């Protein structure tokens, strides 16, 4: 074997070794890429500053679900109606909603089930009136203009408040408008009372000369719920349990780290710290299994809406809870 052949063979072997190493390096990362692609996608819809948004920002939920084999994507929506539409269309897998939107959706044929239930918001929800006005009791609402938002907890709240006062919807003028429009109308004085919830309530009280005529105590709960379609929830019971547990962990953090949470929400909501702190001082956070008490609360809403002919289908809430 001559010298030139030996040198040529040496370089040929070296090139092969380098190429092999490079191929092996590519394959190693290829395996990692493949593994990452094997994470099952799950999409969760939320509204700004709700429990899912808090969990999203805290970051534990996404990490917990990644360990369980899921890649979480969060999608923000401006209203419960938009969330309902997206969930029904299959564009999201889970949605955080209040207590009234799922009842309205179920009555309209959307097969949404309750995956988890959160804390109520009774102390930050209620009917706002002007401190300087003449309305000092529910009875004083007779003949007044009351703003609310159709298909939300505020609608049920107004019905319960009027019943408590011995009034009916015929005794007042109900004005359906979104909460931002209601805030403007309240400030201008074109409405006399406003059925709303935090942070709108806290903002009106801290900066708008408002007072809570009554809060939701004894009227409604304005509770958080995690929803999914029956088809998805039935196939993903383990995922739902893992998600609920992760949300519960984040809600425990929210309850014990109010200063950090306040700072987070001041940025998220673009509100004064005084407003956010008022909101946080009168509520707590949780997320857990749906209880019989939750079913009873939702059934009361379904019964009331049906009796008032606000929906055409009577909903049996227990049919929408998956074991």
Range 287-313 average pLDDT: 97
On whether the 40-117+224-320 domain is CATH 3.40.190.10, my answer is yes
The angle formed by the CA atoms of residues 173, 175 and 181, to the nearest 5 degrees, is 145
Any idea which fold 123-215 has? D-Maltodextrin-Binding Protein; domain 2 (3.40.190)
pLDDT digits (tens, 9 = 90+) for 78-90: 888 889 999 999 9
Q: Which residue has 């207590």 as its token pair?
A: 99
pTM of the model: 0.86
Q: How far is residue 247's CA from residue 249's CA, in Å, rounded to a whole number?
A: 5
pLDDT digits (tens, 9 = 90+) for 125-182: 999 999 999 999 999 999 999 999 999 999 999 999 999 999 999 999 999 999 999 9
Burial 204-227 (b: 16+ CB within 10 A, else e): bbbebebbbbbbbeebbbbbbbbb
Q: Where are the domains of the chain?
A: 1-37, 40-117+224-320, 123-215
Same fold, 40-117+224-320 and 123-215: yes
How does residue 191 score in pLDDT terms, banded at 50, 70 and 90? very high
User: 3-class DSSP state for residue 95?
Assistant: strand
Q: How far is residue 244's CA from residue 226's CA, in Å, rounded to a whole number?
A: 8
Is 4 a residue whose pLDDT tops 50?
no
Q: How far is residue 222's CA from residue 180's CA, in Å, rounded to a whole number?
A: 18
């Amino acid at each position: 074997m001559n010298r030139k052949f030996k040198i040529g063979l040496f370089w040929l072997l070296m090139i092969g070794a380098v190429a092999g190493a490079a191929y092996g390096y590519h394959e190693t990362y290829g395996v990692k890429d493949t593994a990452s692609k094997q994470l099952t996608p799950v999409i969760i819809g939320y509204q700004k500053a709700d429990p899912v948004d808090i969990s999203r920002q805290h970051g534990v939920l996404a990490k917990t679900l990644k360990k369980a084999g899921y890649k979480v994507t969060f999608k923000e929506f401006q209203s419960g109606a938009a969330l309902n539409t997206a969930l029904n269309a299959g564009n999201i897998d889970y949605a955080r909603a209040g207590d009234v939107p799922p009842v309205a959706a179920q009555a309209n044929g959307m097969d949404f089930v309750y995956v988890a239930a959160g804390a109520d918001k009774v102390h930050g929800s209620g009917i706002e009136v002007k401190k300087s006005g003449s309305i000092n009791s529910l009875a004083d609402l007779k003949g007044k203009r009351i703003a609310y938002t159709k298909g939300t907890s505020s609608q049920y709240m107004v019905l319960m408040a009027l019943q408590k006062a011995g009034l009916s919807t015929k005794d007042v003028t109900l004005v359906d408008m979104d909460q931002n429009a209601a805030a403007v109308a309240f400030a201008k004085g074109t409405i006399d009372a406003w059925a709303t919830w935090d942070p709108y309530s806290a903002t009106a009280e801290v900066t708008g000369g408002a007072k809570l005529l009554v809060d939701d105590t004894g009227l409604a709960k304005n509770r958080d719920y995690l929803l999914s379609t029956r088809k998805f929830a039935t196939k993903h019971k383990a995922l739902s349990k893992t998600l609920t547990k992760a949300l519960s962990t984040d809600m425990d953090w929210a309850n014990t780290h109010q200063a950090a949470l306040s700072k987070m929400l001041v940025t998220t909501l673009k509100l004064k710290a005084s407003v956010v702190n008022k909101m946080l001082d009168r509520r707590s956070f949780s997320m857990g299994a749906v209880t019989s008490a939750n079913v009873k609360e939702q059934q009361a809403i379904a019964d009331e809406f049906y009796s008032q002919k606000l929906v055409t289908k009577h909903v049996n809430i227990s049919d929408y809870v998956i074991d």
